[in-house]
Structure 1
Amino acid sequence: MALLKWAGLDGFLRRDAEKASAVLIYGPDGGTVRERARQLVISIAGSIDDPFAVVRLDDADLAGDPARLVDETQALSFGGGRRVVWVENAGSGFLKAVPLLSPDKPGNLIVAEAGALAKSAGLRAMFEPAAHLWAVPCYEDSAIDLERLIAEELDAKGLSTDMEVRQALIDLLGADRRMSRQELAKLALYCHGKTQVTLADVEAVCGDVAELSADDLMNAVFDGQLAAADEAFMRLRDSGQSGAGLLIMAASHAARLTRLRVDVERGKSPEMAVRQARPPVFFKQQPVLQRQVSLWDGESLLAASDMIGRATRDTRTTTLSALNDQITHRAFLSLARLALQQRHNARD
């Protein structure tokens, strides 16, 4: 099975890249997928901007002409060396084109980007067993990944952070690697000339996470604000945020509320439960979570988790981005309606 963990990239480039026909990079975090595709393209071609070294295709280019992929892999480089065929939005067109490749004549390396793929997806079924095809799954950034990202963007610029600041940043970041880097770059620019990043700096630059924060969506959904939830989802979708990534965040939010609700049912006040939560809740989110843990009971949170789980499973059975958006949008509005019902029940 030709699965490549990103930590093993150097070994792949030394031992296996010359024999590989294509590398499929996929996952719900479009920013991480793009960043890793970009790094691999540069490692092979030396650049992403040289038209003689890199040719870009979209899945739509292959849908009506699958043989074009073969033509591009066998085309000679103007300057010598191996070219890269970079395929974006890999889907049904790419799926039709890959079987035309010869495993014995790898030619130029194909680097393909795709979104979240179910285990049964055709591309995974084709790539994972083949010796000449490699698959790179990209998962949501963990806290450790975000610590490394913070070090790359802040520590490398001479900006130190204490544990409280790092935790605040981890709470704010992570849904999309590209957006996380942008937020950290803005923070570094804001702190230019300083040596220490403070919580006040984080709040000034990232506290609202401007227009792109998924916090706006989670807060609106779990508060039962239908119009605000609809607007926040559309804004995030238009910014390129993946529906799968948002569902993961919703599942995490519901799980956190469930843990807090258990503490409340054991005798803590909502305020105490939120203040004593581990990992700590970012200070700006504490009043919101206190309100939500009072609004939701254990039974309704279980229903919310089931709703998120069904939507996640449904998105994994299709590779159509428009249908994924519809499934995710419907799920978030249903969650908001459930929260609104909880609010009405509390008033009765």
Structure 2
Amino acid sequence: MKLSGREVARYFARPEPGRAGLLLYGGDAMRVALKRQEVIARLLGPNAEEEMRLTRMMAAELRGDPAALSDAIKARGFFPGPRVVFLEDATDSLADTIATALADWTGDDAQLVVTAKQLPPRSALRKLFEGHSNAYAIGIYDDPPGRDEIEAMLAGAGLRPPEREAMAALTDLAQGLDPGDFRQTVEKLALYKLNDPAPLTAEDIAACAPASIEGGADALIQVVAEGRHREIGPLLRRLQAQGVTPVTLCITATRHFRILHAAASDPDGVASGVARLRPPLNFKARDRVVRQAQSLGQRKIEQALSLLIDTDLTLRSAQRAPQMAVIERSLIRLAMLSGRRS
């Protein structure tokens, strides 16, 4: 059976132990691996490795010994409890071998968890799991985790539900980080809040967020906000070579201009608006934001945010324009707007 949408979220929150098998496939190996770890941990509970209730197999092992998969699924261990056979990097060439193992499966056997790279709809492996009455197939895509997934990660790490601003900061962070780095950030937050029962705050997120994602992108956005459009090209090429994505740059720019908007729209003036920002800025950053917000003014900042929203929608759509060219054009337009006198 094929799972999608809310069915996937429900399954990952509570995997079903009575199923014969599960296929996880996707183009991002890290995302697939993290979901596989999550599923197996929830199926088997703690100490599965020590109690030998988890058997790991590589696809290459089965080419010379196809019966090894069925043998592993049927094998009985010394310790009671659910068992899983994990088959990594499967391809369509193993579809018949896996089909045989699933056909012989009984309720006393180990559940089979299979991972694979991106599979087209015509894939024999996908068809096998999607057409099976007691097995699931789930595609793992490159979309950043949504609110439900983030809340599940936090709960799994023993963290209380965050404040609204903290959840917004985590959502932005999840969009800019790869899955492994985001999970490490959640684990760091769990250690940071180990003896603190209070909910997560935006200050906590700022304290634990990796600096690497901010540095180069933030430097570029400062150039944009100050209207130095001639410096954008070289900085953008450098960030592109480092693997920074256009979506990350758009998110970083939007976050910065939202800060400027909060400062510029404060009824008591820009300086008061900056002083009220949460999390608070350091002294140097505070002075820079005051200068930028005063120079731009509320109307231009709102125009910039409108442009960034349109750019974000374009980057996430099915358009064929090169994404780096799209973000470069938008950043230059922002810089020209910033450098233009009202």
* Range class of TM-score, shorter chain: 0.5 to 0.7
Aligned to 1:67: 66
Bigger radius of gyration? 2
Aligned residue runs from structure 1 range 246-325, under 5 A:
249=247, 253=251, 272=261, 305=314, 309=318
Aligned residue runs from structure 1 range 1-348, under 5 A:
1=1, 3=3, 5-8=8-11, 12-13=16-17, 16-17=18-19, 20=20, 22-27=21-26, 33-42=32-41, 44-45=43-44, 47-50=47-50, 52-62=52-62, 64-65=63-64, 67=66, 70-79=69-78, 83-95=83-95, 97-106=97-106, 107-138=109-140, 140-153=144-157, 155-156=159-160, 161-173=162-174, 176-196=178-198, 197-206=200-209, 209-211=210-212, 213=213, 224=233, 225-233=236-244, 249=247, 253=251, 272=261, 305=314, 309=318, 333-335=324-326
Q: How far apart, in 2, do the equivalents of 1:331 and 1:59 lie?
A: 36
Q: How far apart, in 2, do the equivalents of 1:112 and 1:275 lie?
A: 53
Aligned to 1:325: none
Q: How far apart, in 1, do the equivalents of 2:182 and 2:325 lie?
A: 28
**How far did 1:171 drift?**
1.8
Q: How far apart, in 2, do the equivalents of 1:218 and 1:60 lie?
A: 45
1:60-98 Cα shifts (integer Å, max 9, x gaps): 444x44715534445522326664221223334544642
Output the amino acid matched with 1:229: Q
| 8 Å contact kept, 1:84–1:111 | yes
1:173-194 Cα shifts (integer Å, max 9, x gaps): 2555543332122234334544
Secondary structure of 2:318 counterpart: helix
Secondary structure of 1:171 counterpart: helix
Aligned to 1:323: none
1:92-142 Cα shifts (integer Å, max 9, x gaps): 454464244351445432111235545454432332122243223446421
Residues 192 and 2 of structure 1: is their aligned pair in 2 closer, same or farther, counting only changes over 3 Å? closer
Secondary structure of 1:23 counterpart: strand
Q: How far apart, in 2, do the equivalents of 1:90 and 1:292 lie?
A: 50
> What are the ranges of 5 or more consecutive residues in structure 2 without an aligned counterpart?
225-231, 266-276
**How far did 1:24 drift?**
0.9
> What are the ranges of 5 or more consecutive residues in structure 1 without an aligned counterpart?
234-245, 262-268, 312-329
Q: How far apart, in 2, do the equivalents of 1:96 and 1:66 lie?
A: 13
| 8 Å contact kept, 1:57–1:85 | yes
Q: How far apart, in 2, do the equivalents of 1:218 and 1:162 lie?
A: 25
Aligned to 1:320: none
TM-score scaled by length of structure 1: 0.58
Secondary structure of 1:101 counterpart: helix
Residues 94 and 283 of structure 1: is their aligned pair in 2 closer, same or farther, counting only changes over 3 Å? farther
State, as a whole percentage, how many aligned pairs show the same letter: 17
**How far did 1:55 drift?**
1.9
TM-score scaled by length of structure 2: 0.59
1:157-206 Cα shifts (integer Å, max 9, x gaps): xxx74322332222212555543332122234334544545433332321
Output the amino acid matched with 1:110: L
| 8 Å contact kept, 1:217–1:232 | no
**How far did 1:230 drift?**
1.6
1:295-344 Cα shifts (integer Å, max 9, x gaps): 8997xx67993796367xxxxxxxxxxxxxxxxxx955555665688699
Q: How far apart, in 2, do the equivalents of 1:294 and 1:200 lie?
A: 28
| 8 Å contact kept, 1:218–1:250 | no
Output the amino acid matched with 2:125: L
**How far did 1:231 drift?**
0.8
RMSD: 5.3
Secondary structure of 2:103 counterpart: coil
Secondary structure of 1:130 counterpart: coil
1:33-77 Cα shifts (integer Å, max 9, x gaps): 434433443455554424742221234444x44715534445522
Output the amino acid matched with 1:167: A
Q: Please, which moves more after superposition, 302-311 or 110-119?
A: 302-311
Q: How far apart, in 2, do the equivalents of 1:332 and 1:186 lie?
A: 32
Secondary structure of 2:243 counterpart: helix
